[in-house]
Structure 1
Amino acid sequence: MEEHFVWVTTRRIRPGTLGDFEKVWRPATHPPGMRRALAYWSEDGQEITGVSFWDSKEACDSWRASDPEAQRRADMAPYVVEEREGFYQGRELAIPSGSPG
């Protein structure tokens, strides 16, 4: 099974700032080593979870230490109330076919 390297960040943002937050949240350039990224919003628009898939932990760490990422994080700071983040390694789970018996 293919292993995945995943960075997950969940941010709670100030009420009513989702539109402004989104303008500064997306990176200006495609980070080297990032395969894809997904974003999920809570119904109230105050919590956003970003999930990014990387070639390796080193590629993710390199981006996170870069000047463009530091600037992006500084631009987001006025909107962020709380932030949780972590790096994970894993794989896709196979879902059994057929109906429960």
Structure 2
Amino acid sequence: MREQFVWVTTRRIRPGTLEEFERAWRPDPYPRGLRQAYAYWSEDGQEITGVSFWDSKEDCDAWRTSEGEAHRREVMAPYVVEEREGFYRGRELAVPVR
């Protein structure tokens, strides 16, 4: 199975700011090497986990240290209370058919 490169961020945001946060959260322009991105949020709308899949660790690292990402974080900052992130390598697990 093909190895995947994944960056996961989890942010706790200020109550009632999910809509504004989502507008700030979208990168512009989209980074080179980004294949797919997903966002998952808690029922109360105060915790968002982003999962992005990359062509390589180098592409992800280039984005993480770019001016575009620095600007995006600056725009998100008024809404963010806490942030955690990690970079992972992995692969799809085969789920048996029932």
- In the superposition, the TM-score normalised over structure 2's length comes to 0.97
Deviations 1:33-82 (A, max 9, x none): 00110110100000000000001111000001110110000111111001
- Please tell me the root mean square deviation across aligned C-alpha atoms, in Å: 0.6
Deviations 1:3-54 (A, max 9, x none): 0000000000000111111111001111100011011010000000000000
Runs of 4+ in 1 over 6 A off after TM superposition: none
- In the superposition, the TM-score normalised over structure 1's length comes to 0.94
- Could you say which residue in structure 2 is the equivalent of 1:4? 4
Aligned length: 98
Equivalent residue runs for 1:4-83 within 5 Å: 4-83=4-83
1:2 positional shift:
0.5
Structure 2 unaligned residues grouped into runs of 5+: none
1:96 and 2:87 matched: no
- Classify the secondary structure of the residue corresponding to 1:40: strand
Q: Quick one: distance in 2 between partners of 1:97 and 1:23?
A: 39
When Rg is computed on C-alpha atoms for both structures, the one with the higher figure is: 1
Q: Quick one: distance in 1 between partners of 2:21 and 2:97?
A: 41
Q: Percent identity?
A: 74
- Classify the secondary structure of the residue corresponding to 1:27: coil
Q: Quick one: distance in 1 between partners of 2:53 and 2:40?
A: 15
Structure 1 unaligned residues grouped into runs of 5+: none
Q: Quick one: distance in 2 between partners of 1:39 and 1:22?
A: 9
Q: Quick one: distance in 1 between partners of 2:51 and 2:88?
A: 10
